[in-house]
Amino acid sequence: MILFHRLALLAIAGLVPLPAAAHIHLHPDRAQPGQVLDIGLIVGHGCAGAATTGLRVAIPEGLEAAVPVPKDGWQVSAAEGEVGWQGGSLPDGTKASFTLRATVAAGAPGAIAIPVIQICGDRETRWIGTAADADSPAPVLTVQPAR
């Protein structure tokens, strides 16, 4: 019990890292209409401790001609409205980027939520929430007006 309190105090003081909120992040996370973009889907953890073994991305309205960029050790797939990577293994706690190449549509909305399903063996995490307080929010690409 004393150890727990000491760790809690150290965490509050910032001396012991606490687990970060688990999300899929985009890099870059901003674009302009008409821009051809390599969007990195950055994964930094598995599913409840299990290694990531696949990623599926639903291509939202606002992104056109989307294709997965090959990644060493992974097979890519593309079907109408969806792309994916499978067959690899990304250990829990290891960060990696999966690249989606797409064109931002001329009339794209100001924010494009990109639904992602992270597969970890027989488990999955559905990063599809669109509300600001969603437990598993979809990563968002912010579309800025052309300059």
At 56-91, the pLDDT tens digits run 999 999 999 999 999 999 999 999 999 999 999 999
Q: Give 33's contacts (C-beta < 8 A, 6+ positions apart).
A: 104, 105, 106, 107, 108, 143, 145, 146
Would you list the domain boundaries of the chain?
Answer: 20-143
Q: What is the pTM of this model?
A: 0.82
What topology is assigned to 20-143 in CATH? Immunoglobulin-like (2.60.40)
pLDDT value, residue 116: 98
pLDDT tens for 2-35 read: 433 333 333 333 333 333 344 899 999 999 999 9
Distance CA 32, CA 107 (A): 10
Q: Is 11 helix (H, G, I), strand (E, B) or coil?
A: helix
